[in-house]
Amino acid sequence: MATFNVSFLNPALKKAGGGSGVGLLADQLTILENNLAKDGYLSPGDYDILVEKAREIQMGNSLTADQRSNYDVKISNYEKAKDLAKIENSDDIEKMNKILNSESAEDVMVAGNNPIEFLNGRVASIQAKLNDLSETITRRTAAGDDTVDYYNEYNATLQ
């Protein structure tokens, strides 16, 4: 029995310009970035997800050397933005306190029935805050910026 190619009748089956799907991969990365930023903010963890996805796309066999280089640039930009987000978070005392309170609520839900685990979680959270404050004080002192608020917050956290 003879078969006929009638794919030309369905425009959805036609290939558009013979592309390799590279644009689709870039679009997927952009869509992922937009989904992660729905709250108006990309956290350092969000950047980790974006870097992982960009590396996954980059390692695909369908990319040219030029396209791989473009993904190297994207990955570099995501890593830079992640570092800046970390610095921004550690410089904002109010945000630090919100994170600490949020972690406290999580500790209660996760380890409310285990006082030792709860206390270990609280100690880890407070130690992380002290480390962030210490790094901020060091960085701001080196830049010649005012560090009084950070010293006060550090001392208050110690108490």
* pLDDT, tens digit (0-9, with 9 covering 90-100), for 91-130: 677 877 787 788 778 877 777 778 888 888 888 888 888 8
Please check whether residues 138 and 80 belong to one and the same domain.
Answer: no
Given 64, 90, 116, which residue is the final one in a domain?
A: 90
pLDDT at residue number 90: 65
When mean pLDDT is compared over 3-7, 56-60, 76-80, 119-123, the highest value belongs to 76-80
Q: In this predicted structure, which of 19-23, 51-55, 81-85, 140-144 has the lowest mean pLDDT?
A: 19-23
Please check whether residues 131 and 77 belong to one and the same domain.
Answer: no
Please check whether residues 77 and 110 belong to one and the same domain.
Answer: no
- Burial string for 86-125 (b: 16+ CB within 10 Å, else e) reads eeeebbebeebeebeeebeeebeeebeeeeeebeebbeeb
* Tens-place pLDDT, residues 1-36: 455 454 444 444 444 444 456 678 888 888 888 888
Residue corresponding to tokens 């108490």? 159
